[in-house]
Structures are given as structure tokens and as C-alpha cells.
Amino acid sequence: MKRIGLKASCVVGFDGQRHVLWRDGEVVFEGSRILFVGRDYPGPVDQWIDYGNALIGPGFIDLDALGDLDSTVLTLDNGDERAMGRMWSEDYLAAGPRESYTADEEVFKYRYAFTQLIRNGITTAMPITSMYYREWAETYDEFAAVAGIAGELGLRTYLGPCYMSGMGYWRADGSLGHHWDEARGMAGLEAAARFFYDFDGAQGGLIRGALLPDRIQTCTPALLQRTAALSRELNAPMRLHCCQGLGEVAMVEQLRGVSPLAWLQQLDLLTPRSLLPHGLYTQGDDDLQRVVDGGASLVHCPVVFARDGEALNSFGRYRAKGINFALGTDTWPADLLENIRQGLNIARLMEGGNSLTGTLDLYNAATLGGAKALGRDDLGRLAPGAKADITVFSLRGLHLGPLFDPLKNLVLAGRGDDCIASYIDGRCVMQDGQVQGVDYPALQRQAQRQFEKLMRSHSERAFAQPDWKSLFQPAIPFADDYSAQVPLSTIDPLP
């Protein structure tokens, strides 16, 4: 194994308690482990790489990582989701749901998404995709292929097929219905357990298993109880989306008689293994105390909710209660710097000041908080013995302005593609902004073709199956007939 040394004008080290900044610092690693962080390494090094004016830091940890060709962007200024086919209609359910993508296309979306995650400085990901365009949920075979892609690209991932026992749909009268299939949910859990046994620790430890039920409102008590038991048996992380909408809260209170977090507590699903996106709609301090008492972590995804005028109230208040935060991208772009920036601004708006939430609090959530949520003391930090998951962010960009503080400059004006190099488990997976082995133009062309196919599929799920083009309104109206426009998939996005 070669001993590699990295140098830069700024290095984020870890002193055992907190991140610390080294000027003109060095990071030395051998194989998958870091040997040294600081200045003037005294031992031999096989290769030095000097990145100059840059920030070397720990890789970001994204625990609600966009693993899709994101569909939430289609809701931007396009009216009610009920009318645009992003939820099932009663007619679509009666006709029988079907897959919108082929099996190869399902796997491709992960290749595209994982490339984007690496491109944005994310080294550990627990992906999330939408289920509304699926026949049901994800499959074992699909995720066996996904694990192969993660290993090929070198991304550290926590994987498992999503499973569920129900799906909401809209009735013709505008009311919300719920379709349940308990047997299918249990079969999905069995597939997730099989995947865990077969793939946990694969690709030299880059692949770890996880239990990923869909959402609290699409899972029956029996499915969640079995999930809790399996999480204990396997010591497996479990992620469950909850407290993300008023409709979800009302449904759980109607069906279970308690708040979503109180119900999870009853089911023994508030534990140190529990990762809970998004936690916006909680029922007072009692709910927050349930999270603290159980040792669960919240996965904060500020950008996706801000687009609809929703926000956590608030990051600083929850954190002051003792809740551990991780971060997630959830939506396009797959940029945790953008979520740190917007998360900071949104928190201060919700808190009416700047005293509760600081820049470092969000950065910690993207690094140390994510590691704690996974039960890992070897991730989210640069320190001897930690995994060599290392990112390099250029500080040379004109858009960053005059340098006064590397992290603050990046949070105020940076973007994910300021990441110019990434090492995961000691392997260089990106250099000079190029993810190893990926043809960017070809990747983007395939994504464009496939995304247009997804847009077309919306017509099938909407009532009366309108022309799909009528479901997506441009921000600026077309001057001529939209239906006569050249298909987007014929336009090369990267000439």
C-alpha cells in the first residue's frame, strides 16, 4: 500500500472533541486509514499531492441522499400534486400500477445519482428514491445491482431495498384513500433482510446494510414491529420518514390515537439505530424528549421543504434539547453545501436571530452528526485511525470572493462542484472534478432521455390522463405551441 500525503492551505482536523483548522496542513493516509493530520509529517511518504489554495476536510455524510432523477423538482410552481400525477389516482390504482422505468433504467438512475453525490463532496450516502412511479417498492435484484455500482464508483453506502405495506391515492371526490397490501410489505421486509445478510460488508466494507421502510403512513403496525425486531437482531440502522406533513400527522393520530413520534416510541423504533427524516411537525416538547430519550437522530433536509414554504422550527431549538442532527439532500441538487447554507439562513429566520444556530453547527451535522447517527467514530472526521474519506474544496473560485475564513466562504458562496478531489476508503474516486471512469456527457444524455420518460408517465396517474405536457408549466410561457417543441431529450445538454 502506498503512503499518500495531501497538502493544502487549510485542513480540517479533529482533536478528539471537535473540528480544528490547520493552516498549511497535511493529511497522510495509507490504505483505508488516516495516519496523520497536522503539519510537518516526520515519516516517509510515497507520493505528495499539493492542492494549494484549498480546504481539505472530511467527506460529507448524506443520510437522505438523492438516489433518483429527482421528481420533486417537477412540483415547482406546477400546482396541486393531485392534479399532476405525482400521486396515484383511484383510476390508476384500479387499472393496476406499473413500473415507469425498465429494470436497466432503474439501476441507471443510481449510477447518475451516485456520480452526482461524489461530485458534490459526499463520501457516505444512504439513498432515497420516490415510490410513486413504481409498481410497488424496490427489489432485492435491483439493489444487488446498485451495490455493484456503488462499489465500482467507490461510494460508501448504506443500502437496502425500500419496502412498504400501503400507498395513498386520490379518489375522484378529492379525498385521500389508502391502499394496503400487508403481504407485500412483509415480503419486502424479507427481501431487505436477505439483502442485509448477503451484502453487509461487501466491497471491502464500503457497502453496509440498512433497513429502509418507506414512510410512517405507508407502513402498518405489524411491518414496523417486525422492522424494530430485525433492527435489534442485526444491529442495523433503520431509517423512517416521519413528521414531514400535516396530513401524515392527522392520519397517524386518527389511526393510532397518538402523535407519530409517540407511536414510534410505542413500537420501540426510537433507538440509537433510528434515523428519522424530517421531523418538522412534532407535538411539542414531549415529542422532542422522546427522540432524545431514545437516542434517535433527525435527518435535516432544509432545501426540499423551503421550496414549499415549510421549515423546521427550529434547528437550534431542537439541538438545544439534545437532539443529534444529520443532514440529507433529498432533492436536486445533490449539494450538501447548499443545504448547509439554506439550513443556516432558515434556522435564523425561524429563530429570529443568530444566537442559536451557527455555521459550524450545520457543518457538524454534515460530518460528525451523520457519523454519530450511523454509530461510526471513524467517519466524518480527519484523525489518525479514521477512514480515509477525504474531500478537497477549491478556494480559488472568483465567486467565493476574498478569503477570510475557508468554511464561511464556502457556506456563504460555495457550491458542491467546488469539490475538486475526493478520496473514499483511501481510493481516489475523483480528481480535478472528474469522477473516475464516468463519461459526463453520455451520463447526462441518458438522464435527459429517461427523465422525459418519467414526465410522460405522469399522465397515466393523473385523473382523465391529460396530455403530459399540460401538467408541467414553464416559468416563462412559450411564445408558440408547447406541444410542437423539440423534445428535450434531443437537445444535447453538454455540447
Spatial CA neighbour of 44 closest among 98, 86, 4:
4
Tell the burial category of 235 from Cβ atoms under 10 Å away from its Cβ (0-12, 13-18, 19+).
exposed
Terminal alpha carbon distance of the chain? 40
Q: Residue 243: left (phi > 0), alpha (psi -120 to 50), or beta?
A: left
Q: Mention every residue, 6+ apart, whose C-beta is less than 8 A from residue 207.
A: 147, 150, 151, 157, 159, 199, 200, 201
Give the domain range for residue 179: 59-380
- Domains held by the chain: number: 1
Does residue 270 sit within a domain?
yes
Does residue 412 sit within a domain?
no
Does residue 32 sit within a domain?
no
User: Measured between alpha carbons, how far is 392 from 68 in angstroms, rounded to an integer?
Assistant: 25
Does residue 204 sit within a domain?
yes
Does residue 79 sit within a domain?
yes
Confidence (pTM): 0.96
> pLDDT tens digits for the chain (495 residues)?
899 999 999 999 999 999 999 999 999 999 999 999 999 999 999 999 999 999 999 999 999 999 999 999 999 998 887 788 999 999 999 999 999 999 999 999 999 999 999 999 999 999 999 999 999 999 999 999 999 999 999 999 999 999 999 999 999 898 889 999 999 999 999 999 999 999 999 999 999 999 999 999 999 999 999 999 999 999 999 999 999 999 899 989 988 899 999 999 999 999 999 999 999 999 889 999 999 999 999 999 999 999 999 999 999 999 999 999 999 999 999 999 999 999 999 999 999 999 999 999 999 999 999 999 999 999 999 999 999 999 999 999 999 999 999 999 999 999 999 999 999 999 999 999 999 999 999 999 999 999 999 999 999 999 989 999 989 988 998 888 655 555 555 555 543
Does residue 367 sit within a domain?
yes
Spatial CA neighbour of 465 closest among 101, 179, 89, 99:
89
Does residue 30 sit within a domain?
no
Reduced to 3 DSSP states, what percent helix, strand and coil does the chain have, rounded to the nearest 5?
40, 20, 35
Residue 387 vs residues 8, 58, 336: alpha-carbon distances, Å = 19, 9, 20
With beta carbons less than 8 A apart as the criterion, state whether 88 and 25 touch: no
Does residue 44 sit within a domain?
no
Collapsing DSSP to helix, strand or coil, 276 comes out as strand
CATH number of domain containing 104: 3.20.20.140
